[in-house]
Amino acid sequence: MSNHARSEEIENYTPRTRTRLRLKEGETAADNVLSVMTMVVHPMTPGIERDAEDNPVIKDGKVSILAHKTHHLIGWECKVNGEVVLSADLSGSVSKDPIINFSVRGVEGGDTFTLSWTDNQGFSDTEEQVVKSRKKK
């Protein structure tokens, strides 16, 4: 751990979260499938300390991380009507601006979809959307 102040990139970071939802509707609500595309605008900097040969520095069997540089998501979670459907623990080796795409069964128009995340520098964000039905009534 170092005593450096947090890097400028971290200090100037503004959380941004995007989700794109598309409901494919079946005969009944149980047959519905919600396709979810998510992206968090985030640098995902692992902050790994490297030696003169650019190899990662290992201390006590662990990769040495520079506290003032590391900045990546650690927790990520999606809910439908408050119930967790998919969650994740992430590291700095997930690509910059993490994209995670998946599908949820049994979602109806009017349900609330929520994506929340938190990172290792104390930033977090929540994006909430109401699922839209495309069926004509």
Partner 1 sequence: MSKLFSRRRIVQGLMAAAALVAMPLSAFARNSEAFGLGDFAKAQSTMFGGEDIADGSDGITLELPDIAESPAKTNVKVKVDESKLGMLKSITFMAEANPTPISAKFYFSARVEPELETFIKLAGTTMVHAIVETDKGLYSASKEVKATLGGCGG
Give the binding site for partner 1 (CB under 8 A).
Answer: 33, 43, 45-48, 56, 58, 61-63, 65, 69, 74-75, 77, 80, 83-96, 98-106, 116-118, 124, 126
Rounded-to-integer distance, Cα 14 and Cα 69, Å: 16
Nearer to partner 1, 62 or 136 (CB): 62
Rounded-to-integer distance, Cα 45 and Cα 27, Å: 45
Contact indicator for 9, 119 with CB cutoff of 8 Å:
no
Contact indicator for 47, 92 with CB cutoff of 8 Å:
yes
Q: How far is the CB of 135 from partner 1 (least distance, A)?
A: 20
Nearer to partner 1, 23 or 80 (CB): 80
- Short-list 40, 31, 27, CA closest to 104: 31
Nearer to partner 1, 118 or 133 (CB): 118
Q: How far is the CB of 115 from partner 1 (least distance, A)?
A: 11
